[in-house]
Structures are given as structure tokens and as C-alpha cells.
Amino acid sequence: MKSYNSFLVAQQQVEEAARILNLDKATTEFLKWPQREFKFTFPVRMDDGRFEIFHAYRVQYNYARGPAKGGIRFHPDETVDVVRALAAWMTWKTAVVDLPLGGAKGGVVCDPRHLSQKELENIARAYIRASADILGVDKDVPAPDVYTTPQTMAWMLDEFETIVRKHQPGVFTDKPLPIGGTEGRRDATSRGGVISVREACKFLNIEPKTFAIQGFGNAGQRAALLHEELLGGKLIAACDSRGGILNPDGINAKELVTHKLKTGTVLNFPGARHIPSDAVLELDVDVLYPAALENAISEKNAGLIKAKIICELANGPTTPEADLILYHRNIFVLPDILASAGGVTVSYFEMLQNSGGEMWEEATVHARLDKKISNAFQSFSDALREKGVHPRLAAMVVGVARVAEACKIRGWV
């Protein structure tokens, strides 16, 4: 099977957008690379008394528009190139939703599924001891990503504040509420995605009656609940890393979330039959939500996809070859840098509340998020119409143009 280097994919996407925008050579080259990247190696004491050595990264891709921003992932397959790609996509994502932020991402090579809570805490704190000097409200602001949670942010914030010896809640977002988190952040990624599906359905004149979800963690679970609640559709299939389930008559999203939280998997959900995880991508549904990892949709399966709309809650789930196949098959891709921008948008609201000592009502967060995503969809659909390119390229054109403009105004290129 062909393997993908996500960073090469991210660089190719910049080149394509730069060509449409007629960017000069220096600007294009500058935007193809991270401005700063850090590699950390640290020992952590494990529950059995041994020390284990962990490798970790933080990539600050571009900060022309504001402090670098993006999650920290704990995953066994993490590499510097994956983190670079994720940091690049954060840069275009914050620009597409027009936030005064740059893009960053971090990662620790580890498998949380085989670590205790104490070991995870030790890793989180060690990561901050290694990186504290490059983080800050006006430098770089992390958040959770795959296999990290608000609890991870709480440990990281505590370690950071112990080092700097003052309260700095805005240095981490998607924190638990009692230490400065915001209402509405936990489901913000999925809420943003579902809002973008609502806008796409108006744009395409489609009714989002049935949907399937690949990946059933934070983003996937909340998408299941919110699609049902806001758009009224029926969930027919879902999967996680252990396998998938299908029930064409419909799966109650709330019951499936409860089942997943109780048993750790979507498997054995009453009334549904088992299917391979990847089969969830190929079902005949109105909307497909990839909500797991990169490169799930490639030239291998793009020809088999039957969804009308693909809403990319995951970062980088579709390869460039698949983008073209889907475009020519008239399947509408809501690209990650728009569809998954709800999370960072509400993270920005959290930063605003932390700096002003405010606590917004949940309804305020939801209304402001809706406005941001709806406006971003408008810029994206304008670019689609004006440039006549496939959806990811249209979104990239919006994001890259804004970042390039900020670099130029600063006199960088």
C-alpha cells in the first residue's frame, strides 16, 4: 500500500494555492516551511519504577497573523513530518476563519491506550518542562488533539504556572471549566462541522438525512449528537480503531456515545452488525464525517465513496489524488481547514475570556461560533465560484492569501 508523507502533501497544497494566487517565488517558498520547530527528548518515570525515554515535537508553522495556535497529540505514529503538516493546516485554518492567530501543532510519540493516568500526567508535565520557554499567550497556545483531553491541559497549565510562578490560564485552551475553560469548547469542532454541513446543504440544495462517522472520539461522538440535534438526520454507521457497526434503520447517537464511553468501543452495540472500520467510508449516505486520522481517503477508495458531502472533522483525511477523484465524481468535500475550524474558533473565544476575566454563556459561544463558520463558508464558496477549482484548493486560496498578505505587510517577503 502507498504510504503518504503528510508534510509533502501539505507543501503540495501550498504550491497549488500559490499558483492560483500568483504568489512570488520567495513567498511561496516561505509558506512551504515552518518558521520554527522544536524536538524534545525527555525521560519519564513509569509506574513500575523504570524510566522510559519519550520523543516529542512542537512546530510553530507561521505566526504572521498572531500567536501560534494548535493542539498537542499523543500518538504512537507521530513524526516530525506529521506535526509539520498539522501545524501548516492550523495556519490556513485560523486564517480561513479569520482569527488573529497563527498555526502550530505538537506531539508526543506514545500510546495512551497502554499508559496509566499517572504516566500520562508525568508525560504531560515533562513536555511542558521541555517547552515552557516557547509557550505563552502572546507566543504559542496549545490545546488537546488526538488522545489528549482537558485533563491533559490541566496538568500542562499547572506545570507551566509552577514554572512561571503566576496565573496564565490563556496559555492553554479547552481546559476544564473550573480553571478557566469555556462553555462550548468540547463540542465546538463538531458543531463547526455540522454548521458547515448546514451551509453546504443550502448551497447544494441537499437534505442531510443519513450520515456515517469514521472515528468515534471527541469529534466523532459530538458530531453524531449534533447532526441529529441540529440537522435531524439519522446515523447509520460509525467506527473506531477496533472496528465498525452498521444499522441502516438508524443508530441512536446518544445511546451509542454512552455505549462507547462504557465499553471503550462502538462494537457490540445492540441492533447493529459489525463491519470493517474502512467500510464505513464507502456507505451510501448523504454526509460522511471522517473524524480519525490523516490519509483515510486515498486514490484506493475515493472511487468507492458514495456520500454526497464529506465533512472533514479530521485533519488531512483526504490525499491530493483523492481530492481530484472526488471532485470529478461530484462529491462535495468540506475541507478540514474550514470544517474542523470550530474547535480553534472557540479556543480563541476562551483566550478572549481569559484575558478579560470574563465567562460567556454557552448560548453566546454558540451564536458567535455560528457567525464565524457561516462567514468562513461564505468566503470559501465565493472562492469556489470565482476560481473554479476543487473545494480544498478554494479554501487554501482563502487561507494562504490572508497569511501571505500578513507576511508581506510585515515586510518579511
List residues forming the annotated binding site for substrate. 69, 93, 347
Contact region with ligand NDP (CB under 6 A), list: 27-35, 195-203, 230-238, 289-297? 289-297
Residue in the shown chain whose Cβ atom is closest to ligand NDP: 217
Distance CA 235, CA 253 (A): 7
From ligand AKG, ligand NDP, none, interface partner of 331 (C-beta below 5 to 8 A by class): none
Contact partners, residue 211, CB within 8 Å, separation at least 6? 227, 233, 234, 235, 236, 285, 286, 287, 288, 289
Q: Is 246 in the site for ligand NDP (CB under 6 A)?
A: no
Residue in the shown chain whose Cβ atom is closest to ligand AKG: 71
CA Rg, the chain, in Å?
Answer: 20
Got the DSSP string for 285-354?
-SEEEE-S-TTSB-TTTGGG---SEEE--SSS-B-HHHHHHHHHTTPEEE-HHHHTTHHHHHHHHHHHHH
From ligand AKG, ligand NDP, none, interface partner of 60 (C-beta below 5 to 8 A by class): none
From ligand AKG, ligand NDP, none, interface partner of 353 (C-beta below 5 to 8 A by class): none
- Comparison of 233 and 343: residue with beta carbon closer to ligand AKG: 343
Distance, CA of 114 to chain centre: 23
Helix (H) or strand (E) holding 55: strand 51-62
In total, the chain counts a number of residues equal to 413
Please, is 387 exposed, middle or buried when counting C-beta atoms within 10 Å of its C-beta (0-12, 13-18, 19+)? middle
Q: Is 147 in the site for ligand NDP (CB under 6 A)?
A: yes
Distance CA 285, CA 277 (A): 16
Q: Is 263 in the site for ligand NDP (CB under 6 A)?
A: no
Contact region with ligand NDP (CB under 6 A), list: 143-151, 359-367, 380-388, 395-403? 143-151
- Comparison of 281 and 400: residue with beta carbon closer to ligand NDP: 281
Q: Which of 25, 105, 118, 166 is catalytic?
A: 105
Could you list the residues that contact ligand AKG (CB under 6 A)? 69-71, 90, 93, 143, 145, 173-174, 315, 340, 343-344, 347
From ligand NDP, ligand AKG, none, interface partner of 70 (C-beta below 5 to 8 A by class): ligand AKG
Contact partners, residue 288, CB within 8 Å, separation at least 6? 211, 212, 213, 214, 281, 305, 307, 309, 310, 311
- Comparison of 35 and 189: residue with beta carbon closer to ligand NDP: 189
- Comparison of 282 and 294: residue with beta carbon closer to ligand AKG: 294
Report the candidate in 167, 159, 173 with the shortest Cα–Cα distance to residue 125. Answer: 159
Catalytic: 105?
A: yes
Interface residue list for ligand NDP (CB under 6 A): 144-147, 189, 214-220, 239-242, 277, 291-293, 313-315, 340, 343
Give the catalytic positions in this structure: 105
